[in-house]
A and B are shown apart, each in its own frame.
Chain A
Amino acid sequence: MTVNGRPRWTCRTHVSKVSHGGTLEIAPLSNMPVIKDLATDMKPFFEKWQAAKGVFEPSKTRDDAVEPIKPHEPERIAADAGIECINCGVCHAACDTVRWNDDYLGPAALNRAWTLVNDRRDAGQVPRLQAVAAGGGCHACHSHQTCMEFCPQSLNPTAAIASLKKLSTKAYLRGKITS
């Protein structure tokens, strides 16, 4: 919800940390349709996850051996940095670009895409990069970093988006994806 004008993970935020002189003003999360009172419809939020190809695409069957992923591999470390997202929507509500641009996928969806980009077991990398490089994708981000400032899990979606920009730009220049 929005508490005193700022998006918060309300069930885990102590009142003493966010009240202004003993006053609390609560409102529904911004950038999402309001169902009633404080309840928002998170369907558009998760539709953007789908649009960003935030779904794992398996490359093996149940009959194949389990792929060993070591904790200290650079890709695993990069995925670890963003994988603790709890889908609360706080970053989406805090983002100026989401407010300005209806097509923008948003920090949560792009952060999810970045964690999957770093999963070598995933078979959907090219369509994912294509999705995040399109209009409304990672290149629409202004790097205001409000997602990072308000994330209750202390994640840094801005860094994930910056990495997606770099990777998708390389893929475009190498002809792997189109605009």
Chain B
Amino acid sequence: MNVHLYIWQRGTAALLAPMVLVHLAVIFYATRQGLSAAEIFSRTRGSLAWGTFYGAFVVSAAIHAAIGIGNILCEWTPMRDKTARGLSLLFGLFLVVVGARAVLAVVFG
């Protein structure tokens, strides 16, 4: 891992740390209050704030995980670095697509 990837991985980790706490708080709130799916959607649909929050969450998680997976592939498999980084990029793009689908469904669905 070079300094460029290091900064992206640590930077996204710094963003994700508070986001995960907020995400957990939201889960606890929703379950403790016994909110139904319809009640949750009534709060999230059309909400720019939730869309921005979870959109940033998805992008940060995708970058962070892709760099980490790339490191594991480089160190634990005989794969060449370029191949490992290429595969991890594909994995990151996959996370962006599935994450974006979820966010769009919750905010605009």
Listed in ascending order, the chain A residues whose CB lies under 8 Å from chain B are 97, 100-101, 103, 133-135, 137, 139-140, 165, 168-169, 172-173, 177, 179
Contact-residue size bin, chain B (C-beta under 8 Å from the other chain): 10 to 19
Q: How far is the CB of A137 from chain B (nearest CB, A)?
A: 7
Q: How far is the CB of A177 from chain B (nearest CB, A)?
A: 7
Q: Quick check: is B94 within 8 A (CB to CB) of the other chain? A: no
**Which of chain A's residues have a CB closer than 8 A to the CB of B6?**
139, 165, 169
Q: Give bound CA distance, A165 to B2, whole Å.
A: 10
Dominant SS among interface residues on chain B: helix
Listed in ascending order, the chain B residues whose CB lies under 8 Å from chain A are 1-7, 74-76, 81
**Which of chain B's residues have a CB closer than 8 A to the CB of A168?**
3
* A135 lies within 8 A of B2 (CB): yes
Q: List 5 A-B contacts (CB under 8 A).
A: A134-B3, A169-B3, A172-B4, A179-B3, A179-B5
Q: Give bound CA distance, A137 to B5, whole Å.
A: 12
* A179 lies within 8 A of B2 (CB): yes
Q: Give bound CA distance, A165 to B9, whole Å.
A: 13
* B76 lies within 8 A of A137 (CB): no
